[in-house]
Chain A
Amino acid sequence: MRLPTSAPTGALVGSSSAAALFAAVSWAPMWGEQFIFGLIYTLVVTTFTASGVFLLYAPGAGRSGWGMIAAAACYAVSYWWQWPQSWQVGPAPLIAYVFGYCWFVFGGVTLLRYPEPVLARTAERLYFLAAALWIIGGKLLVATLSRPEDHHGSPRAWWPTLADAPGVEHAVSKTVQAGILVLGLVLPVLLLLKIRRTPRAERKDAMPATAAAVAVAVFGSAYMVTVVLDTGPQVADALRTTTGLVALVAPAAIVVGLAQRRLEQATVAMRVLDCTSLSRVQAVLREELGDPDLVLAIPTEGDLRGRFVTFDGHDLPGAGEHPEKEPLRGRDGRPLALLLLSPARRYRPDLVYAAAVTAGIKLENDLLHDDLARQLAEVQASRRRITEAGLAERRRIERDLHDGAQQLLLAAVSSLSRARLRMRRGDDASEAVESAREAVNIALEELRAIARGIHPAALNNGLAAALESVVERLDVPVTLHVADEPLSPMATSTLYFVTCEALANVVRHARATRVTVSVGVERGTATATIRDDGRGGALALPGTGLAGLQDRVRAIRGELTISSPPGRGTTITARIPCE
């Protein structure tokens, strides 16, 4: 299956010109007497050829195009009998005699196969086989029983005469003609039956061409009646002309039908691309493909081997083995979903293909969009949490400063005021000064602790020294391996805080007996791993210190992984890219 391509203009113009020239030359002896019908004849030959070339380039129409071209050729030769005797030489009379009526067969096959190229019914196949055999075989038989002169040929023409038996020949000829008449009358019936079983959606495509074919068959049959009954040249000529005129409708109908199909493919594509949800995509596909049971099956895993669900998440058992399915693919050909069609139904493959391709693109776009939207939301949420954490941190620092150092310094000022008061009075002020000194010292200690929380002074001497001073104060034995590699200030402080928080968690929750901390740089990534032998079960639930660490690490495009199986210790790993 491929999407339609336009018939190349060169091929169209070339073949049409050739057909027109051929017809004009074929009509050469008759132009003087039958100018108008000559025009019709030329037009029929040309348009049949052109529509055949059109069909050759229409996807799925396949050999139908050749059928139409063959019909054009047969129609062209069917009037050679009018040639003057001097032209009736060589194989021309025989060709004209044998193949003349065959344009009914080829044209009929083409129109019956249109728009779907497969002849669905055995009866139809048999009909055309029988028609071809009857016409060609019957005519050949008549030819063997006659001489070329009996059929407008010159005596010098090639002719397979076996016996000159005018009596038998006449009877056989009438029988053949009557047979052709019957065949001609059956064709409209077949066409109408075909229309009846064509799915409603396709009926409008098939209708113009079928109507043309029915009309041609009816007028052609009427013409045959005049031939069988020998009603005279006036009626026969009139009917021939009418049949020719009616035949002109067929190629137009085919071209119109083709255009209609292209329009429908485009409509499916546009409507699918316009959809705003998967449920809408499915509804549109159901409408456009005329299948109310059509289902869009979405794989839960990346490929088509796993489970499938509907667009609203319901399980679809056996979707992978569905008998009538069309994969929806992304631009790289990766299958994204399946279109499950009703097996009993007949589909226009070109429409299904157009639907599948656009639904694939749609799905891929939506998936991409969903992916991006999710990532963006994650980034925004994480940024918000970092901002909030920053604000909370500032509030905490302000409170620490206010409740601690500030009150202590005020106490010191107060004590110093008292000391001054006592000294002015000549009293001993040493106790008041001592109180002030004590308060100032405690305030200093508090300020140091706060400053350490903001930017640990120890970090100025490198991560190893900073972590050593942290580890020294813990009750749990910690083995520290810190690679001696220069890191950016951001990476250094992030790894420091990750390690501190992880160690604080170990002390608070893990009941560990041993902790190992290793920090290293490998292939442009700085990694800190904190592993303990405690009770495990740590989770980065929202609002916890671990979740805060995750945000902090992700904010500088790193990642934090937590492995904490219950009872088997906890390993926290932070990886940070070093630019």
Chain B
Amino acid sequence: MRVALAEDSDFFRQALAALLRELDVEVVHQAGDAETLMTQLAGDLPDVVLLDIRLPPTQTDEGLRAAHRIRARYPDVGILILSAYDETVYAELLLESVTSRVGYLVKDRVDNAEGLHESIQRVAAGDTVIDQTIVERLMGRVRPELAQLTDQQRRVLGYMAEGLSNRGIAQRLHLQTKTVEKYCGDIFTRLGLHDTDENNRRVLAILKWLRAER
């Protein structure tokens, strides 16, 4: 596994690089801003780019724009946004402009080395990854439709929102993939959503549904 890192805080970038190396992830590029990263990518493509959302020069959503450019130029490179904000809006914006092989994690995820590693691997494998804190917060809102779901159904919905495939969910919950598929069908009917094969579209639909004010 080869990754590139774009993060303007030297301390955090070096600590993260050290952690990734410990996980046998090769950090091929390190950049403090998007332009440097783009130059580095031109020479040698990694499997996944880890991008801070807030980068110089604007210190706002430079990372999101860089993600868009990277995907346009290098469709096979996975993109994992690391953000200090656990903002759903940013996650949705990301999923809208980058439709696969993409992830949005809050930086706190470095707390769990294995989880981070798994997220990188999933993005590299083509999945969509949404940070579980974002999903948990959205799921925590009082919604009558959510209250009608069983605990197991809610668990499945959460995993779907985090970007897990039906097979991934089945593994987590020690269920048959068929059973998970049935749960998905029920949940989508309950929420009034249409199921879709494409993982990214499914995540986006769920996030939008969860976030929508009703």
Q: Decide if B18 touches A415 in the complex (CB within 8 Å).
A: yes
Q: Decide if B110 touches A407 in the complex (CB within 8 Å).
A: no
**List of A residues within 8 angstroms of B11 by Cβ:** 407-408, 411, 439, 442
With the chains together, A439 CA to B111 CA distance in Å?
15
With the chains together, A399 CA to B8 CA distance in Å?
13
Q: 23 A-B Cβ contacts within 8 A?
A: A403-B8, A403-B9, A407-B9, A407-B84, A408-B11, A410-B9, A410-B12, A410-B15, A410-B108, A411-B11, A411-B14, A411-B16, A413-B111, A414-B12, A414-B18, A417-B112, A417-B113, A418-B22, A418-B113, A420-B113, A421-B19, A436-B15, A439-B15
Chain A positions 428 through 441: 1 when the CB is less than 8 Å from some CB of chain B, otherwise 0? 00001001100100
**List of A residues within 8 angstroms of B101 by Cβ:** none
**List of A residues within 8 angstroms of B23 by Cβ:** 421
Judge if B202 is at the interface, Cβ distance under 8 Å.
no
Q: Decide if A417 touches B19 in the complex (CB within 8 Å).
A: yes
With the chains together, A414 CA to B17 CA distance in Å?
9
With the chains together, A411 CA to B113 CA distance in Å?
13
From A402, A406, A417, A442, B110 is in contact (CB under 8 Å) with: A417
CB distance from B61 to the nearest CB of A (A): 14
With the chains together, A454 CA to B112 CA distance in Å?
34
Q: Decide if A414 touches B19 in the complex (CB within 8 Å).
A: yes
From B8, B15, B54, A414 is in contact (CB under 8 Å) with: B15
**List of A residues within 8 angstroms of B22 by Cβ:** 418, 421-422
- Residues 9-63 of B contacting A (Cβ, < 8 Å): 9, 11-12, 14-16, 18-19, 22-23, 54, 59
Q: Decide if A412 touches B15 in the complex (CB within 8 Å).
A: yes
Known interface pairs A417-B112, A418-B113; A407-B12 also in contact (CB < 8 Å): yes
Q: Decide if B15 touches A435 in the complex (CB within 8 Å).
A: yes
**List of B residues within 8 angstroms of A407 by Cβ:** 9, 11-12, 84
Q: Which residues of B contact A (CB under 8 A)?
A: 8-9, 11-12, 14-16, 18-19, 22-23, 54, 59, 84, 107-108, 110-113, 116
CB distance from B211 to the nearest CB of A (A): 23
With the chains together, A422 CA to B18 CA distance in Å?
11
Give A435's nearest chain B residue, CB to CB: B15
Q: Decide if B18 touches A410 in the complex (CB within 8 Å).
A: no
With the chains together, A414 CA to B116 CA distance in Å?
11
**List of B residues within 8 angstroms of A436 by Cβ:** 15
**List of A residues within 8 angstroms of B113 by Cβ:** 417-418, 420-421
Q: Decide if A411 touches B111 in the complex (CB within 8 Å).
A: no
**List of A residues within 8 angstroms of B111 by Cβ:** 413, 416-417
**List of A residues within 8 angstroms of B9 by Cβ:** 403, 407-408, 410-411
Query: Which 7 pairs between the two chains have the least Cβ-Cβ distance?
Result: A407-B9, A411-B15, A414-B15, A411-B11, A414-B110, A411-B12, A418-B19
Q: Which residues of A contact B (CB under 8 A)?
A: 399, 402-403, 406-408, 410-418, 420-422, 432, 435-436, 439, 442
Q: Decide if A408 touches B12 in the complex (CB within 8 Å).
A: yes
CB distance from A417 to the nearest CB of B (A): 4
With the chains together, A402 CA to B60 CA distance in Å?
12
With the chains together, A435 CA to B19 CA distance in Å?
11
Give B54's nearest chain A residue, CB to CB: A402
With the chains together, A403 CA to B14 CA distance in Å?
15
With the chains together, A34 CA to B195 CA distance in Å?
124
Q: Decide if B59 touches A413 in the complex (CB within 8 Å).
A: no
CB distance from B98 to the nearest CB of A (A): 23
CB distance from A102 to the nearest CB of B (A): 102
Q: Decide if B54 touches A410 in the complex (CB within 8 Å).
A: no
With the chains together, A420 CA to B115 CA distance in Å?
13
With the chains together, A417 CA to B112 CA distance in Å?
6
Q: Decide if B12 touches A399 in the complex (CB within 8 Å).
A: no
CB distance from A443 to the nearest CB of B (A): 9
With the chains together, A432 CA to B18 CA distance in Å?
9
**List of B residues within 8 angstroms of A422 by Cβ:** 22
CB distance from A437 to the nearest CB of B (A): 12
Q: Decide if A413 touches B108 in the complex (CB within 8 Å).
A: yes
With the chains together, A420 CA to B9 CA distance in Å?
23
Give B17's nearest chain A residue, CB to CB: A414
Known interface pairs A408-B12, A410-B107, A442-B11; A415-B84 also in contact (CB < 8 Å): no
Interface centre among A407, A421, A422 (most CB of B within 10 A): A407
Known interface pairs A408-B12, A414-B12, A432-B18; A402-B84 also in contact (CB < 8 Å): yes
**List of B residues within 8 angstroms of A416 by Cβ:** 111
**List of B residues within 8 angstroms of A403 by Cβ:** 8-9, 59
From A406, A408, A421, B84 is in contact (CB under 8 Å) with: A406
Give B11's nearest chain A residue, CB to CB: A411
With the chains together, A158 CA to B8 CA distance in Å?
130
